[in-house]
Amino acid sequence: MPRMFGTDGVRGLANRDLTAQLALDLGDAAVRVLGSDSARPEQPTGRRRALIGRDTRVSGDFLSNALAAGMSAGGFDVIDAGIIPTPGVAYLTSVLNVEMGAVISASHNPMPDNGIKFFARGGFKLPDSKEDEIEDVLGQDWGRPTGAGVGRVSHDSNTATNMYIDHLVATVAPIVDGTQTKPLKGLRVVADCANGATSVVAPEALRRAGADVVVINASPDGYNINKNAGSTHPEQLQAMVKASQADLGVAFDGDADRCLAVDEDGTLVNGDQIMGILARAKQREGKLNHDTLVVTVMSNLGLKLALKDMGITTVQTNVGDRYVLEEMLKGDYSLGGEQSGHVINREFATTGDGTLTALTLCKEVVDSGRSLKSLAADFPQLPQQLINVPNVDKMAAKTNKAVLAAVAREEELLGDTGRVLLRPSGTEPLVRVMAEAATQEQADAVTARLAQVVADELGL
């Protein structure tokens, strides 16, 4: 059987793959695993609590109710924080006395999809082993509590949201002598909220930090999340930045754990460039632990070469912000992320936080006295091409002699001026073939040749 938990929780078509029954069962199983005495030796007695948040999808209503029902039936008191970004749940899980947090969201996926992911005490995503434990006990009968042992469900969206906004603003605009500082004063920013979970949070946090904010796609109706909006569809943001003569724009996804940016000319600034800008800023402030940035195998070689010239090392992980965080914790690194815009700033967060990224990026524009276009130009991106090769034996890509020989040939041709990457899909029978090179034509040619070899050798 395939593993239920993917790289970012349980995800699928709401009410088909992800049903109310499954949400209830996941809540029931999660309290058994994360609420066991062995999981909380420092606090073996007393009532146990969980926090739930969700994005703006209409299916979040029935799924959050079902998840809360499973948890409360298992003896947990549940705080339903309503619509709040995923990193907001992670933050609140880290500062409130709760055993776990849970988010109902499918992030950047289309509206019909949804998902459920959990955070352990402290606000960290679960390791694979804990997810496996939850899956192992899913649907099993057990001695559920009765009477006073049954949990309650309370709803408090305003308090949760305000606590999170206060935390975000304090990261860049501390209160001095009782007065809120305004480090972003004079900066005009367009915020594309993707009609998602940060539709209230991001505009308010940016304004409280002093920015002049133009807001688009912040009118969620349950059906329009990510629809031609946000980080996966930045075209509207690019046009609005130019039309409003803004200094920059920021685009979030549905649950606001990622952020991409747009410079004053309407040009997209991707996650690699954002990480480069923030890594250099942290290095300047003496806050880039070990002068190292953690990236994934998908990060552009141009970022690594630029950082090397600045005395910053890069450490590489598999794709997925959870793997980035694991490496950050292991090596005591302070900054890491993905090309897609997940940026983990361990000084303030335990997971990728799009609104936090937007605030810190805006502050660096102000502090440096340079435009976002100028800052991003210091991290040029090598031309890149990606081809998905479907209907193949994806695992054989790592062992097939002809494929490995073809990869070696292309790597020899590219030398230090580029690279190639073959990555099996985590959910489909396909292999992603990616190449970076000095020119787009060369990148296109390399991926075309490799994709043909993969198709010929591994076709099902």
* CA–CA dist 208, 172 (Å, integer): 10
9 three-class SS: strand
Helix (H, G, I), strand (E, B) or coil at 214: strand
Nearest to 276 by CA among 252, 318, 308: 308
Beta partners for residue 252, in sequence order: 259
* Residue 381: C-alpha distances to residues 233, 272, 275, 280, 388 (Å): 20, 8, 13, 17, 21
Please indicate whether residue 107 is annotated as part of the active site: yes
| Count of C-beta atoms within a 10 Å radius of residue 224 | 17
How far is it, in rounded angstroms, from Cα 451 to Cα 231?
28
Amino acid letter, 379: F
Give binding residues as ranges. Answer: 107, 253, 255, 257
- Collapse the DSSP code of 49 into the 3-class scheme (helix H, G, I; strand E, B; otherwise coil) and give the result: strand
List the structure tokens of 51: 């926090």
Tokens 């591994």 belong to which residue?
A: 458
Q: How far is CA 263 from CA 64, 134, 360, 366, 371, in A?
A: 37, 44, 15, 14, 8
Q: What are phi and psi of 419, to 5 degrees?
A: -160, 165
Q: Is 64 left (phi over 0), alpha (psi -120 to 50) or beta?
A: alpha
Question: What residues form the annotated binding site for Mg(2+)?
Answer: 107, 253, 255, 257
Which DSSP category does 36 fall into? Answer: S
In order, the DSSP letters of 296-354 are ETTS-HHHHHHHHHTT-EEEEE-SSHHHHHHHHHHHT-SEEE-TTS-EEETTT-SS--H
Tally of CB atoms within 10 A around 261: 30
Cβ-Cβ contacts under 8 Å for 334 (sequence gap 6 or more): 282, 287, 288, 289, 328, 345, 346, 347
Q: Catalytic residue, from 64, 94, 107, 231: name it.
A: 107
d(C-alpha 91, C-alpha 83), whole Å: 14
CA distance 311 to 280: 9
Handedness of CA 428, 223, 342, 215 (dihedral sign): positive
Residues labelled catalytic: 107
